[in-house]
């Protein structure tokens, strides 16, 4: 029975699932979906995930959406090393706590910065009010402060001495604004040291491979057909700018 994983590595939750499966040598059929083309709205993908989002997996007849749920499932199903999602209840709770908190904080604010600073103005040709950009940066900054004060503190990784799903999900989200040219780690030495540790644990090659599409985005939008993202424009503008 083959595991199919539907991914677009521009997307943060796709990167965490990709890195997790690769790092743990979980064999899978990489099904590439291009979000910017609106492929997630096609009929075929609708049979995999009616939510029309990535990532999604199909394992035999079992389809599953939501990266956090996917990684928890894969960790148990494929018996990955304990540190990713510890059996110890309190350590596991710390992972769950971060995975829950990040949805409405770092994830949202990091996403906004990439869309406001790069994709909406440069790929869609729509100006974003300065106030919205400033607010997004301030919110993201607030999230990073809480991340350092509450979740990381003086530990090497979020749960302690070893990397877990929490660090993996955190790092892919914190990288997102880097795609728009923001140096997230400037003047944040503790955060930078943590990112470097996480990258080393994952493996620099895998980390860089997963982030290649994101980090070449600034160049790619220069030559992107302005009409390419037209199908997505109404949804995106309603979601981010209303």
Cβ proximity to another protein, 183 vs 235, nearer residue: 235
Rounded to a whole number of angstroms, the minimum distance from the CB of residue 77 to another protein is: 6
Pick 64 or 137: Cβ nearer another protein? 64
Nearest approach, Cβ of residue 107 and another protein (Å): 8
Q: Tell me the C-alpha distance between 2 and 57, whole Å.
A: 10
- Interaction site with another protein (CB under 8 A): 50-51, 62, 64-70, 72-73, 76-77, 89-90, 92-94, 96-97, 99-101, 103-104, 108, 146, 149-150, 242
Query: Which residue lies nearer to another protein by CB, 109 or 207?
Result: 109
Nearer CB in complex with another protein: 64/206: 64
Task: Please give the angle made by the CA atoms of 105, 17 and 192, to the nearest 5 degrees.
Answer: 55
Work out how close the CB of 240 gets to another protein at its nearest, in angstroms, rounded to a whole number.
Answer: 13
**Cα separations in angstroms, 23 against 77, 87, 124, 199, 215:** 15, 20, 35, 12, 21
Structure tokens at 82: 């304990």
- Which is closer to another protein, CB of 51 or CB of 193? 51
How far is 110 from 11, CA to CA, in rounded Å? 11
Q: Which is nearer to another protein, 6 or 207 (CB)?
A: 6
Closest CA to 214 of 163, 175, 187: 175
Min separation Cβ 101 and another protein, Å: 5
CB of 65 to another protein, least distance (A): 6
- 216: exposed, middle or buried (C-beta count within 10 Å: 0-12, 13-18, 19+)? exposed
Tokens of 103: 């949805």
Q: What letter does residue 199 receive in the DSSP assignment? A: H
Q: How far is the CB of 9 from another protein (least distance, A)?
A: 20
Please name which of 97, 240, 109 lies closest in space to residue 176, comparing C-alpha atoms: 109
């Amino acid at each position: 029975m083959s595991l199919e994983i539907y991914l677009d590595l521009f997307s943060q939750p796709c990167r965490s699932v990709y890195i997790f499966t690769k790092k743990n040598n979980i064999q899978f059929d990489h099904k590439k979906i291009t979000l910017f083309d609106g492929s997630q709205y096609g009929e075929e993908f609708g049979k995999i995930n009616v939510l029309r989002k990535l990532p999604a997996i199909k394992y035999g007849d079992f389809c599953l959406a939501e990266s956090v749920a996917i990684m928890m499932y894969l960790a148990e199903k494929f018996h990955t090393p304990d540190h990713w999602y510890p059996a110890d209840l309190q350590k596991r709770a710390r992972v769950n706590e971060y995975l829950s908190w990040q949805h409405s904080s770092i994830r949202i604010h990091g996403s906004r910065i990439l869309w406001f600073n790069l994709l909406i103005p440069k790929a869609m040709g729509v100006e974003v009010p300065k106030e919205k950009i400033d607010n997004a940066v301030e919110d993201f900054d607030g999230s990073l402060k809480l991340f350092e004060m509450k979740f990381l503190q003086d530990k090497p990784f979020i749960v302690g001495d070893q990397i877990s799903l929490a660090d993996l999900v955190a790092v892919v989200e914190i990288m997102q604004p880097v795609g728009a040219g923001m140096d997230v780690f400037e003047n944040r030495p503790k955060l930078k040291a943590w990112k470097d540790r996480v990258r080393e644990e994952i493996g620099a090659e895998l980390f860089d491979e997963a982030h290649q599409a994101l980090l070449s985005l600034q160049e790619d939008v220069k030559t992107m057909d302005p009409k390419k993202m037209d199908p997505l424009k109404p949804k995106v503008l309603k979601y981010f700018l209303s």
